[in-house]
Structure 1
Amino acid sequence: MTHTHNAATAFAINDTTANPAPLGLLGFGMTTVLLNLHNAGMFPLDAMILSMGIFYGGLGQIIVGIMEWKKNNTFGATAFTSYGLFWLSLVALIMLPKTGYIQAPGESAMTAYLVMWGIFTGALFIGTFKMNKALQVVFGSLLVLFFLLAGGDFTGNQAIKTIAGYEGIFCGFSAIYAGLAQVLNEVYGRTVAPLGLVRDPG
């Protein structure tokens, strides 16, 4: 008599790939700073900002989101991919009407666009309460930024947009700090730049 023995074998995969989050934070942060220098009135919306929006802020974050998906990080995959696509969609909103085939969005449409991104960011901000204080600052300031920009479009008040520009510069630099801190802490094998880790009360 032949006995068949079915055994389930579990394989543990040791992930030795690098942390992609700093790349995504830097792509987001540097592009955000440059766009909001424009919003603050320091220079016009030109090819430099749009190129950053397509490549570093856009494609760069999408690549990071895919890498986070491979690392089984749902938050990172959702956030980085979404904000990468945000930058690409923002560039499209600016460039497509210039073709003459598509109507430029009105103030009410841009308000709706920014409010939806603000709601999305608010949900992710709640998620950062389980992460670290550096990310709480990034997402909290980004939440404020989206609603300031929405308020500026809704009211047509240039002063609100200027305030949003300076707040956005802060948001961008907070993301740059969070990204570079992770790089330096890993390189030195110790906390060079603190991220403010959240302690689980459990």
Structure 2
Amino acid sequence: MATENRNVQIVVADPTPLGLLGLSIVTLVAASQKLGITSGVSFVIPWAIFLGAIAQLFACVYDFKHNNIFGATVFGAFGLFWLGVAASWMIKAGVLGEVLAKSVDPKQLGFAFLGFFIFSVIGTIAAAEANFVLFLDMVFIDLLLLGLALDTLGIGGHWAHGMAAYAELIVSMISFYLCGATFLNKFFGRVFWPVGKPLGIWKKAPAPAGH
């Protein structure tokens, strides 16, 4: 009896606009607190969890299905980043008990920011060969994370906090544009909002024959 093998492809829509929306909203709300427009983090935490974390983790999973290593890795990393940040705020506020709150050492969070800064620089190198606007977004994410790391580690004075605050606001605005561009360009099937060409600094190897 002959057997027949079939490959079934499940069509999944591009999750990038959802992930970028999550990044846009959480950085907008968090920047308002850093800039002193709002105060406290009580109402930043829900957006950190549901938009910064969950929306980007959804995008991560479906970018893996798209075989998009950049989107899957970056959305996944920053989705988990916002979960970690939200949990850190909750620990500091005493939500998880007074013992944890009293033993908080902010420098540990500073080293986490430093680690994400290193990862973000790696992502920026890759983004340079995607499109200009994405590269620009990653550059300001680098500045945000560097500012957070220096500020939390107590290095550089108040300027590091200011750099982080304004960089985060710019990240939000650029991410809103990227979200809209990706959504509208896919929806209309043409360049509705331009995102620019790759910078051409580092060339990707050509795909193997037959791929």
TM-score (norm 2): 0.84
5 Å-filtered alignment, 1:61-76, equals 61-76=56-71
Structural RMSD (CA)? 2.3
- Which residue, 16, 35, 54 being the options, matches 1:21? 16
5 Å-filtered alignment, 1:1-202, equals 11=7, 13=9, 16-97=11-92, 98=94, 99-103=97-101, 105-155=104-154, 157-198=157-198
Partners in 1 of 2:73 and 2:130 — Cα distance? 15
1:160 shift after superposition:
2.5
Q: Percent identity?
A: 24
CA contact (8 A) 2:41 2:89 kept: no
TM-score (norm 1): 0.87
CA contact (8 A) 2:27 2:168 kept: yes
Letter in 2 for 1:106: D
Query: Structure 1: which 5+ runs fail to align?
Result: none
CA contact (8 A) 2:144 2:163 kept: no
Query: Structure 2: which 5+ runs fail to align?
Result: 207-211
Letter in 2 for 1:88: L
1:26 shift after superposition:
1.1
After TM superposition, where is structure 1 displaced by more than 6 Å over at least 4 residues in a row? Answer: 199-202
Number of aligned residue pairs: 197
CA contact (8 A) 1:41 1:162 kept: no
Query: What's the secondary structure of 1:176's corresponding residue?
Result: helix
Partners in 2 of 1:113 and 1:148 — Cα distance? 13
1:47 shift after superposition:
2.8
CA contact (8 A) 1:40 1:163 kept: no
